[in-house]
Amino acid sequence: MQKFLGSFFIGWDLDLYHEETNQRAQVNTSDLNEELGQVEYVFTDKTGTLTENEMQFRECSINGIKYQEINGKLVPEGLTEDSPDGIRQSLMKEEELFLKAVCLCHTVHISADQTDGIGDGHWNANGIVSQLEYYASSPDEKALVEAASRVGVVFTGTNGEGMEVKSLGKPERYFFHITFIIVLKGQNIK
């Protein structure tokens, strides 16, 4: 009974109130209420409670070379727009293959109202689709697909038994057969 009533006090605690969203703390389980005061350090954030599930693409490694995104371009580490070599206007083959893999190996979906006629969608002059809204159960998958889109390899949706990608302005369709999808729930498997 104490654990159940303790969950109400957590919901009523004004220090746990979030003004921006006008929400109180929500207690989903009463198993650990009495142990909350004993926490001294938080080492990881697997659930997204601290990061608010907002992931951003920072850098990647392709063929042993570190890259970062600068102004919608994939740039090898150490180069900037001011570098003598400048920023390349196109992707090398390995970079394009990496971004295609990012666009094809995920469980991301596009907003239902944007999937009709996606092959003829709203494309900018640079061949990049404008304002596709991606949805994903995993914020890291969404961040990777959005980063690939900004660089020029855009996941445009699924169609029956295939996935559609627009790579540097050129539409491509890949056919597949889903064998199974593994969903990790953060539980220890022994």
How far is 3 from 130, CA to CA, in rounded Å? 50
Cβ atoms of residues 132 and 156 within 8 Å:
yes
Torsion of Cα atoms, 138 then 144 then 147 then 149, to 10°: -90
Instruction: Give the strands of the sheet with 153-159, arranged side by side.
Output: 153-159, 162-167, 170-175
* 45 a catalytic residue: yes
Only one residue has tokens 């539409």, namely 171
Nearest to 73 by CA among 130, 153, 172, 170: 153
Judging by beta carbons within 10 Å of its beta carbon (0-12, 13-18, 19+), is residue 137 exposed, middle or buried?
exposed
Candidates 45, 85, 113, 120; catalytic one: 45
First-to-last C-alpha distance (Å) of the chain: 33
> Which are the catalytic amino acids?
45
